[in-house]
A and B are shown apart, each in its own frame.
Chain A
Amino acid sequence: MATGQMAMDLGRRERLGEQAATAETYARLVWRRFRRHRLAVIGGSVAVFLSLVAVLAPWLAPYRPEQISLADRWGVPSRTHPFGTDELGRDVISRAMYAGRISLSVGYLSALGVAVVGTVAGVAAGYYGGLTDSVLMRVVDILLSVPTIPLYLIMAALLPGGGVARIIFIFVLFGWTGVSRLVRSQVLSLRQQDFVEAARALGASELRIMLRHLVPNAMAPIIVATTLAVGGFILGESALSYLGLGIQPPTPSWGNMLQRAQEYVLNASWLALFPGVLIFITVLSFNFLGDGLRDALDPRLNV
């Protein structure tokens, strides 16, 4: 198999030229290493599946999520209502699908926002050094010295409302610090290297050096941290919404479906279980995926 692989690579190299061939083999190497990580492949598949269900919720959900039917209140899971019905007779599986749209959007968009803000701050701190670095890193120190949930609580009280954008804003505001530290340390070591010096000597602008030389080379840890952050923010959303300070009903999110879970425990346990299981499976999938990506992209990485 190894020789066959090599022969294929050689053939390809002739066709595509040296440059493209190395790029191709890196992508392929990553894919091969990723595929070996069975849990990561499963995690990735589950994440894709859940995201698809969320996107297709309007077509897949058997009922409208807000459709109240007082005659069907507190229905135990059955063939017509696989996850049962809640205190207003709403179909829980339909609500869970729509809730997935909200919870996954919060996870994806917050992670993306954190990646962008963290990268910008990290590159600025690492590249310019000096005062920029000191100021940014002191801000990071300050934000990292208080636990996040209390900060979220205050921000949630400060910004009334219960929408998705508000939660994402809060998460990004306090969440970029980790990525910025990662990127900064990458940039600090990259900045010294010859290819950056060469680019500078050739007259490349600062922006070009950052975007073409520094950021792409720091991409591996950014991708891994962002993947893991998706799960983290889904957990954050669920906690805030459970406490009643996140996404406000009637819009369903996995977290706010659990808001009254402590009452449900006594006589409607399915209502306390299903949303939690979904959060659990989703976060687990993203964590496996992130772990697999770390091993595949750069085994030496320690995010």
Chain B
Amino acid sequence: MQRFLLQRAIQSAVVLLGLSVLLFTLLVYTPGDPVELLAQANPEVQPEDVQRLRQYYGLDDPLIIRYLKWLRAVAHGDLGYSRTYSLPVRTLIGQRLGNTLLLVGTAFLIALVVGSAIGIYSALHQYSPADYGFTVFSFLGLAMPNFWQGIVLILIFAVWIPLFPAGGMTTPGVAPGWPMAWDRLWHLVLPVAVLATSGMASWTRYVRSSMLEVIRQDYVRTARAKGLPERRIVRRHALRNALLPVITLVALSIPGVLNGAVLTETVFSWPGMGLLLFQAVLGHDFNVAMAVLLFLALVTVGANLLADVAYAVVDPRIRYG
């Protein structure tokens, strides 16, 4: 087990390092480096200034040197400075991280709980009208473009029936304390609804098929033959086993959730990491884009690693190494 863990940890580190090389290379070759943009914005800047600045920032160094310099800085906790915000990237991410966690976390929990409940119900009532209805619903949820669903919700619930705000995270001038918490919640409803829909749709499908597989197993038939009450069969025998793969799926679903977050935050101008990334890419804010991307990758890789560990702990049939 320990050997397996160590192996997986090393593998994850290699993946992250490889990814950082890839992303760094891609971003370096993105047109519009900071000095070029500065020279365009300010006509006072002379060609010799450009030369000096390029040298100062090491922009003419070979790629590998630049990468190693960047890596050394990151290893020391220095993520650089944001061009557009004139703030250290660390501060910037610190401000945004909580907002994204609030949005994504709420949506993810709702999707997981409601989606699993629907999935279990559907599996236990296979081919019933309700099962059919939920299946159609999950197909609808998966086919709807995330950002467009946001626009439709804004149209219905912010324009036609002005119940919720069309975007943002706070109303200016709200008193701190309970009114502010309430205001935050009020802003959270529509973006969470968007993010939770697609998540719910996939959880319904996963849990339904996993549950269907389990209730055909011999040990469930045995439990029935013993005359156990149906509730107990479902809870003790079927559900426990059906939910095992969900651990892995939680990890595997992380990239999709983060994709949704980028789009949802952009549609609702939610000041989180996704919006930050989008604006950083548009504004050629190299350090910010790199930091956010690596953070997203770190979350994904970390979740996968955690899922492997959790799986081994929860399922006694799995013994690594």
Contacts and interface: CB of A to CB of B under 8 A. Distances in A.
B151 A276 contact: yes
Contacts of A8: none
Contacts of A280: 143-145, 148
Nearest to B12: A145
A287 B148 contact: no
Interface in B261-292: 262-263, 266-267, 277-278, 281-282, 284, 289, 292
Contact of B151 (A231, A272, A288): A272
A60 interface: no
B85 interface: no
A283 B27 contact: no
B7 interface: no
A145 B301 contact: yes
A262 B151 contact: yes
Contact of A147 (B142, B145, B300): B300
A125 to B, nearest CB: 17
Contact residues on A (Cβ < 8 Å of other chain), bracket: 35 or more
Contacts, number: 130
A202 interface: no
Contact of A269 (B155, B166, B284, B289): B155
B75 interface: no
B147 A284 contact: no
Nearest to B144: A280
Contacts of B22: 142
How many residues of B sit at the interface, in one of the four size bands?
Answer: 35 or more
Interface string B136-153: 000110111111100110
Q: Name the prevailing secondary structure of the B interface residues.
A: helix
Interface in B218-272: 255-256, 258-259, 262-263, 266-267
Contact of B30 (A142, A157, A243, A283): A157
A248 to B, nearest CB: 14
A158 interface: yes
Contacts of A266: 159
Interface in A110-152: 138, 141-142, 144-150
Given A145-B297, A147-B255, A158-B26, 5 more contacts: A147-B300, A157-B284, A243-B278, A266-B159, A276-B151
6 contacts: A147-B259, A154-B30, A243-B278, A280-B144, A284-B143, A288-B139
